[in-house]
Each structure stands twice: as structure tokens, then as C-alpha cells.
Amino acid sequence: MSDTDALARLAAWPRVSLAHLPTRLLPVPRLAERIGCRKLYVKMDAESGFALGGNKVRKLEFELIPERLEGITHLITAGGAQSNHCRLTAAFAARAGLKCVLVTVGPEPESPTGNALLHRLFGAEILTVPEREDRTPAMDVLARRIAAEGGRALIIPIGASTGLGSLGYASAALELLEQLDALDDGADSTLLFGSTSSCGTFAGLLLGLTLAGRADVQLIGVSADAPASEITSATLKLAVDGARLLGTSLGLTPAPLHSMDSQIGAGYGIPTSASIEATDMFGRLAGIVLDPTYTSKAAAGMIEWLERKGVEKGRRVVFLHTGGAPGLLS
């Protein structure tokens, strides 16, 4: 059963329009044949259209609404040196005439490339910190310093993974459901694979599918860094936060969610032989650019799953392409 009140609240929720929506749901027949899965599609959120696109655009549409920016002089956020989220936040700040400070994990690159180049191109000030754990405290210190100097900062948490940001992916789930329901491919259930890290994307998908009452879409998040158990609990927590904003709860039967952590390899952002192979396959067989940190590992996870378990007849597979191409060019 669907939660029509919460869905109506989601539809009416304020957002700033940044993305070109809907993103396409692309059939990829040559890739499908190679992977041995007849009904394979790619949901192209890599082409969400704002400042080279990616999944963070949908979350920022909910985070950066005019009401929240009233009186704000600075946006502060944080990420890796190649953060896609930092790129999009900096681009938004440039367009809105706000100052942007990015806290990234050091050292300062000698000649920045990829997203690091774009952070600077969009005019952001960069503060580097030695470790990933240093980022959130550094953002708080910065916000206090800006306040002491008479400004006012809005801190966007890492990855815009908040209950609010996740509403962007609850909406994306509904967009995808409409596209799936319009496919005349004989499938009656869907496996949806994608990359997961700060978990707002999968939390939103989980929330959207649950509100729509759609257990026929099973989510499989492939971790870019953390163990699967941590990913699952962080995803559920954010989905609960998002549900609360909509005046509802996730209920007793959230949509099916599974997290995989078998593709992390030597760690966050470090390619593996499987991720390099997946990047080659998507490039050669579909003209699709995967990134080294997230989507190539998610694609490798999808291929691993399909090799191990196969796909039942009547099931289609969707790969959510969350973006990140600038990282490949770094």
C-alpha cells in the first residue's frame, strides 16, 4: 500500500530546480549481452545536467532552497580532494553569488585536475585537513570564524546526506518507477544496483519505494568504503529521518535493501582490477563513462552479483549511474 499523504507532501516539498529531469533510463543491449542479463538499463543520473551532473544535484535541490539561504553569506561543505559533491556545491555558490569554502582531505595538489580543478574554477576557497575525520570539526570551526567576522554560513553535511537531502532520491525513486512501469519488456520485478557511501542516495530510494509500496524493486547498494553493516544502518537511519520530515515513518516493511562491501579493494578511491574492467566494459560497449571511486566499483559489484546469482526470468536489472566522470580525468 502506498502512503498517499506522505507522497503528496513530498510532491509539494520546496526545491530549487537545478537538474534536468527526468534523467534517461537507457537500454544498453551490447553491455547486457556481455554481462549475460537480457534486460539491463542504466539510469543516467550522471547526466542530471548541473555543472557536470551526478547524484548530488538531486539532493542539493532540497538542501539549497531560497528559505534556507536567507541571510547566508557562505556555503561550507567537505569531501575528498576529488569530491563531486564539493564541485556541485561550489558551482551552486558561484551561480548564487555566495562564497564557498570546501574542506578537503589534503595535501594541496600541485596542479589540480578533475574535480579538484573544478573546485577552484568555481571560485571556492579550499581548506585542506590531514584526515577524513577532521572534516566535520573543521567545518564547525570555519562557520564560527565566519560568524565572528559578521557573515553567516550554511554547512552542508558531507555528501548532502541528510534526511532533507535524501528527499531528492525519494523523488528520484518515483521518477524511476514511472519509467519502469512504462517499459514493455515483460519484467515484473527489478534489481537496482548503485554506488553507496554517505548513504543519502540509497536512503532516499528506500524511502521513495517504501512510500510507494513497491517491494518489486530490490535495492543493492555497493559500498565505496564502509562495511556493509554500517552502510545498511546508516541508510535506514537517513531514510527514517526523511520519513519523519514527511510526517510519516518507514513502517514495518520497508522496501528490500541489501548492501555489498566486496568491491572496496584497497580502499576508498583506489581502483581494483574488477573496477578497471567494468570501466572498460561500460566505455566500449555503451559509451558510458564510469568514475574510479564510486560507479566503477558499483558496476563491478553488479557484475559480481549477476555472475554469482544470475537473474531470474521476469526480472530486469537497473544500474543507477551516479556520475563522477571528472574523477576519471584526474
Ligand X SMILES: *Cc1c(COP(=O)(O)O)cnc(C)c1O
Which residues here bind ligand X, judged by CB under 6 A?
A: 54-56, 84-85, 159, 161, 195-201, 291, 294-295, 322-324
Active site residue 161: no
- CB of residue 140 vs ligand X: minimum separation in angstroms? 20
With beta carbons less than 8 A apart as the criterion, state whether 74 and 153 touch: yes
- CB of residue 96 vs ligand X: minimum separation in angstroms? 21
Q: Which of 48, 83, 195, 330 is catalytic?
A: 83
For ligand X, the closer CB: 23 or 197:
197
Q: Provide the β-strand partners of residue 219.
A: 192, 257
Q: What is the CA radius of gyration of the chain?
A: 19
- CB of residue 51 vs ligand X: minimum separation in angstroms? 12
For ligand X, the closer CB: 104 or 195:
195
Helix (H, G, I), strand (E, B) or coil at 209: helix
Q: Return all residues near 122 (Cβ < 8 A) that are at least 6 apart.
A: 51, 87, 90, 91, 93, 94, 100
With beta carbons less than 8 A apart as the criterion, state whether 143 and 76 touch: yes
Alpha carbons 170 and 239: distance in angstroms, whole number: 9
**Residue 300 corresponds to which cell in the numbers above?**
563491478
For ligand X, the closer CB: 187 or 325:
325
Query: Hey, CA dihedral for 45, 171, 67, 77, is it positive or negative?
Result: negative
- CB of residue 166 vs ligand X: minimum separation in angstroms? 8
For ligand X, the closer CB: 216 or 230:
230
Residues annotated as part of the active site = 83
